[in-house]
Structure 1
């Protein structure tokens, strides 16, 4: 079965495009959190952020940055929420970045699940150490 985002990139599926550049394509989400919610996808079929070649990072995130500003400016939004899901909660297995317009008091809370605290500094340090270890060799 063909990837729906690949079909949008190639034009086989229609979408409300807001940008079409070598670095990627941006279009309105069909199920927006708020009207003006944009998805930015790379042209190539990549599943997660880890699959995006290092050489493509600047151009791809440059497009995401410009879309973030354009959503604020074009919609008069107070700000934006920019997010990527990798595998978990990734509704389409093609890398995509959400650019969601925000306004003060808009009620968005779903992206910020219940907060917790570390039991103590030792536990926090343990998590920091494990993440640092994951960076080794990258």
Structure 2
């Protein structure tokens, strides 16, 4: 495994502004936040991708995400919360993590949604592929 900054934070060899941890996850402020208070929730076991995370760690990630979101709402009086995670080439650290981002009206952060046209036959073909791969 290559050097992993999150594994270094988990082992306390690298400094982070930790706000919560238990046996399965650690939560700390993002050093490059989208908004002040942006929190990362990281499983303590190293998994590069979301699809690889064990069920206990994944359960803890989402349950702790809810607690962090509630704390952000109360502490920072947010207008909302964005919960997101990236996979594959779209992630910036090769260790699965979830972002909990406090949101404020006109904070400048937005989704860039391209206009994609999908015809009825394509919806059905995609649906069938997904159903086939759920097993």
Normalising by structure 1, report the TM-score: 0.88
Shift of 1:119: 3.5
Q: Secondary structure of the equivalent of 2:66? A: helix
Shift of 1:108: 1.3
Q: Corresponding residue for 2:71?
A: 70
Q: Corresponding residue for 2:25?
A: 24
Kindly indicate whether residue 46 of structure 2 is the aligned counterpart of residue 45 of structure 1.
yes
CA distance in 1 between counterparts of 2:103 and 2:6 reads: 24
Change (3 A) 1:75 1:49: same
CA distance in 1 between counterparts of 2:10 and 2:70 reads: 22
**Cα RMSD after superposing both structures:** 1.5
Matches within 5 A, 1:1-138: 1-109=2-110, 112-135=111-134, 137=135
Shift of 1:49: 1.2
CA distance in 1 between counterparts of 2:64 and 2:118 reads: 40
CA distance in 1 between counterparts of 2:50 and 2:15 reads: 25
**Which 4+ stretches in 1 moved above 4 angstroms?**
none
Structure 2 gap ranges (5+): none
